[in-house]
Structure 1
Amino acid sequence: MKCSGVHRSLGVHYSKVRSLTLDDWEPEIIKVMAELGNSLVNKIYEANVPDEFARASEHCIG
């Protein structure tokens, strides 16, 4: 919740947060996510993030 609050405060032109339980997910979005997978989607979304920036991982604690 803490991290999503920070992302939401940036504005949707920089960051968009969707809840798995509270938001509606369009079938097209679900299909894209399922077909591409986390690794490829993260590479797309993080393409312009400098290498020295810490990225989220499965080990992050909120």
Structure 2
Amino acid sequence: MEMFSTIIPSKSMYERAHYEQQLIEQIQNDLKRFDLILRRTHDQQNVFYLGDRKSFE
């Protein structure tokens, strides 16, 4: 993960980046654990679909 190896100038920015990294990892783990899929819909409104992975196979 090269994006997290960049030097961050302030402690608060570091803490925010660390928090967001943990949040993303937790979401990824939950998606895998509950066999879910998260997809963005095709419209331009930034709407996301969260559903059962089996329905896409």
TM-score normalised per structure 1: 0.24
Tell me which protein shows more strand as a share of its residues. Answer: 2
Tell me which protein shows more helix as a share of its residues. Answer: 2
Between Structure 1 and Structure 2, whose CA radius of gyration is higher?
Answer: 2
TM-score normalised per structure 2: 0.26
